[in-house]
């Protein structure tokens, strides 16, 4: 219940425009794992069978990522995105059932746009969290 209230608070910061502005500006700083987690959650939002509770969790987690003054400021090198990754991983665990191959394909295509060529091995940690 407490965690749901925190996510609801951060949902107010979510918008597609704000999300992609943050990814374009800080995606490389946040790293490929954080960016992949964000993209998986973002693309899963378009699933028509996504329950409202899961959608709310995703929007809250993405809002937390966007919000610049979270638990550990994103301006702190390396550690700044560690708390974001924790929140994103928790949301991925809740949304895992809705993250199918199509969602992964879209997320990886966007990763290529943002990072250029990358080693798919870097995504294994994230994909292990969503294995169905």
The residue that leads in pLDDT, 50 or 73, is 50
The residue that leads in pLDDT, 73 or 26, is 26
Q: What is the mean pLDDT of the chain?
A: 84
User: Is residue 45 within 8 Å of 55, Cβ to Cβ?
Assistant: yes
Query: What pLDDT band is residue 90 in, cutting at 50, 70 and 90?
Result: very high
> What pLDDT score does 69 carry?
59
Q: What is the pLDDT of residues 19-47, one digit of tens each?
A: 999 899 888 888 899 999 999 999 999 99
How many Å separate Cα 120 from the centre of its chain? 17
User: If we measure between CA atoms, which residue out of 92, 87, 81, 107 comes closest to residue 25?
Assistant: 81
The tokens for 58 are: 């995703």
Q: Which residue has the tokens 């394909």?
A: 105
Contacts of 95 (CB under 8 A, 6+ apart): 40, 41, 44, 50, 54, 57, 58, 130
Radius of gyration of the chain, Cα coordinates, nearest whole angstrom = 14
> What pLDDT score does 1 carry?
39
- CA angle in degrees (0–180, nearest 5) for 80-34-13: 70
Global confidence as pTM: 0.85
91 pLDDT more than 50:
yes
User: How far, in Å, CA of 14 to CA of 24, rounded?
Assistant: 15
How many Å separate Cα 73 from the centre of its chain? 17
The residue that leads in pLDDT, 84 or 114, is 114
Q: Which residue has the tokens 């693309």?
A: 43
């Amino acid at each position: 219940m407490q965690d749901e209230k925190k996510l609801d608070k951060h949902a107010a910061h979510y918008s597609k425009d704000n999300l992609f502005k943050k990814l374009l500006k800080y995606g490389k700083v946040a790293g490929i794992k954080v960016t992949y987690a964000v993209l998986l959650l973002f693309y899963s939002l378009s699933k028509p069978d996504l329950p409202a509770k899961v959608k709310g969790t995703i929007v809250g987690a993405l809002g937390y990522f966007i919000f610049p003054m979270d638990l550990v400021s994103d301006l702190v090198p390396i550690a700044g995105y560690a708390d974001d990754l924790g929140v994103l991983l928790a949301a991925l665990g809740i949304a895992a059932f809705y993250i199918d191959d199509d969602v992964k394909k879209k997320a990886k295509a966007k990763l290529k746009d943002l990072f250029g060529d990358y080693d798919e091995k870097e995504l294994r940690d994230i994909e292990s969290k969503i294995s169905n």
